[in-house]
Copies of this chain bind each other. A is one copy, B any other.
Amino acid sequence: MRISQLSAESGVPIPTIKYYLREGLLPQGEQTSATRAEYGTAHLHRLRLIRALLEVGRLPVAAIRKVVEAVEDERTGVHTMLGTAHYALASPPDPHAGDEDWEEAREHVDRLIAELGWAVSPHAPGRDELAQTLLTLRRLGMAAIDADLLPYAAAAMNLARDHEMGMIPFDGPRDVAVETLVVCTVLYGKALEVFRRLAHESESARLLTPARDHAEVRTQDT
């Protein structure tokens, strides 16, 4: 398959494919001559993965590059590779400037994770992200105590343990495992986010509008 066919099948313009090749998101095609290269279905699949992470997951190109680098580095073990891929999904940390409020929030997070008994590296970027989120909640005047957070932690662990780890083919090829992990995190994460908004709308409708409005909505719905 040449670049024009890759473009036609994926819907991605040729200059954009060239850009992804340059940026290392997409591996080079197999050179068949000085001005010709051959691309396969793996390239098409990778291209769809890139677009999914960009458009649905809104990941920056740099994060996607980190993910594919983790996949292509054959030296690392599967768990390390999954960790690298996972850490690439984190938001870039912002400087917290030795703030003592921040330190307190970070300690709160560390204590919470310890109490949950989760096997999470002390260097996991999620710890900082969570601390930042708690600090922001507090500054907005919302409590964010353990009782508010635990339901979220429990929901996350339930989904991870009962549904998500089973999706990942640990015994298959390493690239399939890491791709499944990333897709699962990003796309099902998106689905969860949308379900949450829909659930809010539904509950808000039940609490705030008269019963006949439900009937109307349900009627329009069908």
Binding site for B on A (CB under 8 A): 45, 48-49, 52, 55-56, 58, 77-79, 82-83, 86, 89-91, 94, 110, 113-114, 118-122, 124, 126-127, 129-130, 132-134, 136-137, 139-142, 148-149, 151-153, 155-165, 167, 170, 180-181, 183, 185, 187-209, 214, 217-218, 220-222
Contact = CB atoms under 8 A, between A and B. Distances in A.
Contacts of A201: 82-83, 86, 118-121, 124, 126
Which 3 pairs of residues, A with B, have the shortest CB-CB distance?
A156-B195, A160-B199, A79-B208
9 contacts: A55-B136, A82-B204, A82-B208, A83-B204, A86-B200, A119-B201, A151-B159, A152-B195, A160-B202
A78 B217 contact: no
